A = this chain, B = another copy of it.
Amino acid sequence: MKAEIMGIGTELLMGELTDTNSSWIASRLPALGIELQWVSIIGDDLPRLTEAFKRGMERSDIIFSTGGLGPTQDDLTREAVAAAFGETPTIQQEVVDNLERYFAARGTPMPQHNIKQANLIPSARFVPNRNGTAPGWWAERDGKIVICLPGPPGENQSMWEEQVEPQLAELVNDEVTITRNIKTMGLSEGAVDEIISEFFGVDNPYLGIYSKADGIHLRVIARARDSQSAQKMIMPVEQAIHDRLGEYIWGYDDETPEQAAGKSLLEKGLSVAVMEMCTGGALTNSITDGPDSMSYFKGGNVAYDAAALEACGVPAEVMEKHGVVSQQTANAMADTVRRNLNADLGVAVTGVPGPGEFEGKPLGLAYISVTNGEKTREMEMRLPPRRVTIKRRVPNQALIELRRLVEETG
């Protein structure tokens, strides 16, 4: 089954907004056995949108679109699908009633413009939207399927998971694709590539290599008649990666460093507290992204200078002797916050926050410390002198170190 995805909205073509929907939908298709062939971005222009849907219905079996279902005059997806199908939309009273209830619950009357969201053509049915006013459309004719979802990810992702994906799974009966992501940190892309060189260039199982902010990822993709056979094809590649890169592997599949660390903390029943300097809250923010973080996160302090660190209990003499940006201060920070907040582990980062030098040390220098009171993991990092890189890569490395120490903690 061949598919295409259209991201709709002039704001996407003007670069006002990044189309994250297409990649999100793309990531759901392999497991359904749906082959994605085209991704395109189209502006809010009725003739061009209509043309795109017509062409899509010629070359693809299924079209997914996101965006253009809002209440404003710019929102033209419904009109374009109607034109491509050659059908006339009519207002559905029950949807008007729903919209009026939605706005009444928020204490405001329904803006008249919203009524266009109640339009439907004979070949389509609504995909209800419990997080917004725009219902989706599922249209079918002559064996072709067009599924239109609203633009906000907070709306279309739950619609996809609860309504679209289950129905697609019933329709599709082709071969199964299974993927396995293996995430490493500590070697360069070129080095990883060389170590497992002979697995590249094979079509099935396919091995891909990707350089990310949290290290080098390896992705094994196998296609087969059933998942067991696909799994069997993946195994030898995964085994080789394990044997040769084991010490660098920190996670699998969709796992983020914060999820890997959180999972280990939960499994061991341990808690953590954070003190951070150069990362300005990014580390704490990552840790609390986990839905269960309330169970293991004890609290955090964010400081930018010696005075604020001292107010958090970091001994002034350590900072005076070694500098705020030093391994010794990182260790003192981790130890202090662990004891102050009564946590099993303390994790701390200190470094040059920018824009320029600090204590004569260059932007990009950072120290990580993780302690459980007995053992301490230390690390010095030297990164490109860009704030955004530092705020992304230092927390990732700190979380990977945290996970390693949790695994070593009784």
Q: Which residues of A contact B (CB under 8 A)?
A: 10-20, 22-30, 36, 38-41, 44, 70-74, 108, 110-114, 131, 133, 152, 154, 179, 181, 188-191, 193-194, 200-201, 208-212, 217, 219, 221, 274, 279-289, 291-294, 297-304, 308, 311-312, 340-341, 353-355, 384, 386-389, 391
Q: Contact between A299 and B288 (Cβ–Cβ < 8 Å)?
A: no
**Minimum C-beta distance from A59 to chain B (A):** 14
- Complex partner residue of A19 from B14, B23, B303, B355, CB under 8 angstroms: B23
Q: Contact between A23 and B27 (Cβ–Cβ < 8 Å)?
A: no
Q: How many monomers of this chain does the complex have?
A: 2
Q: Contact between B311 and A341 (Cβ–Cβ < 8 Å)?
A: yes
**Minimum C-beta distance from A379 to chain B (A):** 16
Q: Contact between A294 and B284 (Cβ–Cβ < 8 Å)?
A: no
Say whether chain A's binding surface is mostly helix, strand, loop, or mixed. mixed
- Complex partner residue of A387 from B15, B36, B131, B291, CB under 8 angstroms: B291
State whether A285 and B294 are in contact (beta carbons under 8 Å apart), knowing that A14-B30, A23-B12, A70-B189 are contacts in the complex: no
- Complex partner residue of A208 from B11, B191, B194, CB under 8 angstroms: B11
For A284, the chain B residues whose CB sits under 8 A away are 280-281, 284-285, 302
**Minimum C-beta distance from A221 to chain B (A):** 8
Q: Contact between A208 and B154 (Cβ–Cβ < 8 Å)?
A: no
Q: Contact between B301 and A299 (Cβ–Cβ < 8 Å)?
A: yes
**Minimum C-beta distance from A135 to chain B (A):** 15
**Minimum C-beta distance from A307 to chain B (A):** 8
Q: Contact between A13 and B36 (Cβ–Cβ < 8 Å)?
A: yes
Q: Contact between B23 and A193 (Cβ–Cβ < 8 Å)?
A: no
**Minimum C-beta distance from A303 to chain B (A):** 5
For A353, the chain B residues whose CB sits under 8 A away are 288, 294
Closest 10 CB pairs of A and B: A280-B288, A15-B27, A281-B284, A15-B26, A111-B190, A281-B285, A299-B308, A300-B302, A39-B41, A18-B23
Q: Contact between B113 and A10 (Cβ–Cβ < 8 Å)?
A: no
Q: Contact between A280 and B291 (Cβ–Cβ < 8 Å)?
A: no
For A200, the chain B residues whose CB sits under 8 A away are 72-74
Q: Contact between B113 and A152 (Cβ–Cβ < 8 Å)?
A: no
Q: Give the distance in Å from the alpha carbon of A211 to the alpha carbon of B279 in the complex.
A: 30
**Minimum C-beta distance from A205 to chain B (A):** 14
